[in-house]
């Protein structure tokens, strides 16, 4: 009898071992096939990784047992101020993150920066809807639904300046106490988002402010351990106090001037370029003018002009298919099209992905809807098209609430050529890149994803940048030096 029982137990144990071995193999295959899965870490990097993962497991184990307190299932505005207390975030903050390839120029710096500009001289305000600002030596000769008044006089006339500034500050941020009430749908979110740009426009396009703002933005990037940036810009017409207004080429030259100055002051910075990205809500005649401007700027400064894009809410703008004949003839320009920034499926909006691919876009901005299109994902992988994912932007702009449901997790699992970016961090008070890296790493990626993923994402950002092929080796060398410094000087007790 005991002999029979022993044989049965031995058989079950053997079966169990076979099952566990097959299970381990499947799990390991999946991990190896994901983005960063085949990256090898050095001994020193493993020290960093052990510390990083211990803190990551602590956060996620607690969240698993207390799902009601899991930050990433709530709106970003409800937990953004608690992010700096995370040890994982602190490690990511100090880590070189490579390049930032998707960010819009007038939404980089936060609300306090813009509020401070309202204390400058010669600033007029129009308390219309939306509130507008304009620097001028005289009362602006621009239509205002009420009347233009000096900002300094408007502030001096109030009883409570602190409260006045608090209300003024709200113009320069989407952050609010009750985002569910303020933004019940994507319509309300984008309406408020456009109001933000309308209010910021006059403050930033005053030429002296534009130049100082972009220098400060580059400093902002560097302080967040971002070494290179490609800024999408509508290249707005800058103006002077006397009303002189410049064309887009002068704005591009302002970029060149500031980038050169910043690189001289910070030679360890890899560099910066801009993508000319005007509105997609135009007709073909206006697009033709855009393309003329793009070629003109490219000819003037080919070293800084990365390429061309069309921006704005995709659902409300014209789809790429409307412009295909003209864009096919613009093969001399590199494209970096926004595409698939939508929740809809089978519409002209998500089919922008089709046209972005066929038009040879070097990267795809957002690509949020890409997970619904397996054939297009195969094309993206086959053509090695970088996908610029902006998790926090997609959450704030009403595409996804719980970031665990963001399609980035699918992209990572399938080893798509992903780069992480931040889109418009100033509009919601986020870091240039660290907040997005942290939320993606802890809230979207697998619990088992580790430093290999973070390092690969940083390397991807250099790989898929518009840095000239002959200069990419030097860019990678700069990044590698920064990465090695981070690893060599890492002290887990500091976190």
Question: Residue 320: which of 341, 303, 299, 302 has the closest Cα?
Answer: 341
What CA–CA distance (Å, rounded) separates 402 from 68? 12
Q: How many residues does the chain have?
A: 495
CA dihedral 145, 147, 151, 157 (to 10 degrees): -120
Catalytic residue (choose from 366, 373, 388, 406): 366
How crowded is residue 191: how many other Cβ atoms within 10 Å of its Cβ?
A: 13
Q: Which residues does 352 contact at the CB level (< 8 Å), separation at least 6?
A: 314, 319, 320, 321, 337, 338, 339, 340
Which tokens go with 92?
């990511």
338 is catalytic: no
Which tokens go with 34?
């994901």
What CA–CA distance (Å, rounded) separates 398 from 392? 10
366 is catalytic: yes
Check if the beta carbon of residue 147 is closer than 8 Å to that of residue 168. Answer: no
Catalytic residue (choose from 341, 351, 373, 388): 341
Q: Which residues of 362-390 are buried (b: 16+ CB within 10 A; e: fewer)?
A: bbbbbbbbbbbbeebbebbeeeebbbbbb
What is the set of active-site residues? 341, 366
């Amino acid at each position: 009898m005991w002999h029979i029982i022993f044989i049965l137990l031995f058989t079950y144990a053997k079966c169990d071992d076979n099952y566990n071995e097959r299970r381990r193999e499947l799990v390991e295959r999946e991990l190896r096939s994901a983005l960063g899965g085949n990256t090898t870490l050095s001994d020193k990097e493993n020290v960093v990784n052990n510390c990083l993962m211990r803190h990551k497991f602590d956060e996620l184990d607690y969240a698993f047992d207390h799902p009601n307190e899991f930050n990433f299932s709530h709106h970003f505005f409800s937990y953004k101020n608690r992010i700096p207390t995370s040890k994982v975030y602190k490690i990511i903050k100090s880590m070189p993150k490579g390049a930032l390839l998707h960010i819009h120029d007038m939404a980089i710096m936060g609300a306090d920066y813009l509020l401070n500009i309202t204390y400058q001289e010669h600033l007029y305000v129009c308390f219309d809807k939306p509130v507008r600002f304009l620097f001028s030596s005289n009362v602006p000769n621009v239509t205002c639904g009420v009347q233009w008044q000096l900002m300094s006089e408007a502030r001096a006339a109030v009883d409570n300046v602190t409260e006045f500034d608090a209300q003024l500050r709200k113009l320069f941020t989407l952050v609010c106490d009750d985002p569910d009430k303020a933004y019940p749908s994507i319509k309300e979110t984008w309406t408020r988002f456009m109001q933000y740009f309308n209010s910021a426009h006059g403050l930033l396009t005053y030429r002296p402010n534009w130049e100082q703002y972009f220098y400060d933005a580059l400093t902002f990037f560097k302080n967040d351990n971002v070494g290179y940036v490609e800024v999408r810009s509508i290249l707005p017409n800058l103006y002077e106090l006397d009303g002189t207004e410049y064309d887009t080429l002068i704005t591009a030259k302002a970029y060149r001037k500031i980038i050169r100055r910043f690189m001289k002051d910070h030679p360890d910075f890899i560099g910066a370029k801009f993508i000319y990205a005007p509105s997609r809500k135009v007709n073909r005649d206006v697009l033709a003018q855009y393309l003329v401007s793009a070629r003109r700027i490219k000819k003037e400064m080919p070293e800084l002009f990365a390429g061309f894009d069309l921006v704005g809410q995709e659902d409300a703008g014209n789809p790429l298919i409307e412009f295909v004949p003209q864009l096919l003839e613009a093969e001399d320009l590199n494209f970096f099209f926004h595409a698939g920034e939508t929740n809809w499926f089978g519409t002209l909006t998500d089919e922008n992905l089709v046209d972005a691919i066929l038009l040879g876009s070097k990267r795809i901005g957002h690509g949020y809807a890409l997970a619904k299109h397996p054939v297009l994902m195969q094309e993206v992988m086959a053509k090695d098209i970088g996908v610029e994912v902006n998790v926090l932007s997609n959450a704030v702009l009403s595409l996804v609430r719980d970031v665990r449901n963001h399609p980035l997790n699918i992209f990572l699992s399938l080893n798509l050529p992903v780069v992480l970016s931040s889109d418009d961090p100033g509009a919601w008070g986020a870091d240039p890149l660290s907040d997005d890296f942290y939320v993606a790493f802890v809230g979207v990626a697998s619990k088992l994803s580790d430093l290999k993923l973070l390092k690969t994402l940083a390397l991807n950002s250099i790989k898929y940048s518009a840095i000239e092929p002959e200069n990419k080796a030097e860019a990678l060398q700069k990044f590698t030096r920064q990465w090695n410094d981070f690893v060599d000087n890492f002290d887990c007790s500091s976190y």
